[in-house]
A = this chain, B = another copy of it.
Amino acid sequence: MPATPLRKDAARNRRQILQTARAMVDAGATLQLNAVAREADVGVGTVYRHFPTPEALLAALAEERFEAMIAEVRRGVTAPDVRAALHTFLDHALTAYVEDEAFAAEALGPAPTTERTRELRDELVGMIRDLLARAVSEGVLRPGIDAPDLLVLLCGVAYAVKNSPYPDDPAVATRYLKALLNGVLATDAA
């Protein structure tokens, strides 16, 4: 809800920039505003106008993901089967982290770059907190790990997936997630 709805051409440029940036980020490149401009076939100045810093662009990229995830967790909180909801969420979150560097960066760290991002993240964390609370109270989840912990652990797993020695094995993510869920030990350690 921008104060002034973007002019048509401005909107097209913005879209193009975001699209290009998304592609670059997904390709693993670090965002260089100049490069984005070149790829997006847009003047440098235009990129700078829309996104004064690389961070702002990254943040914009992350927003959609945040919104989708929030919607999903919201559904999960009230779903009949918490365990299933939790699974689905963890699964999707892991995928998001693995696929989307921009989102992972923004969802972590004490420095959400944008006011908007910060709000979104807080909202997401809040929702997850509720989901976890329910899961714990229903005996599905061990206590001791809170929402921020879980997010960052998931991020860690994503990191592992991305650096896995079996990069072409499609089951890696599932396997690693399962390790986190069930643990690697056969019986509990102190």
Contacts and interface: CB of A to CB of B under 8 A. Distances in A.
Interface of A: 83, 87, 108-110, 139-142, 144-145, 148-150, 152-153, 155-161, 163-167, 175-176, 178-189
Among A87, A110, A142, A148, find the residue whose CB has the most chain B CB atoms closer than 10 A: A142
12 contacts: A139-B186, A142-B182, A142-B184, A145-B175, A153-B157, A156-B158, A156-B176, A159-B159, A179-B180, A180-B180, A182-B185, A182-B188
Identical copies of this chain, number: 4
A87 B187 CA distance: 13
A187 B165 CA distance: 29
Contact of A182 (B110, B158, B175, B183): B183
A156 B188 CA distance: 21
A108 B130 CA distance: 36
A46 B120 CA distance: 40
A185 B142 contact: yes
A2 B135 CA distance: 59
A141 B160 CA distance: 19
A185 B110 CA distance: 27
Contacts of A161: 156
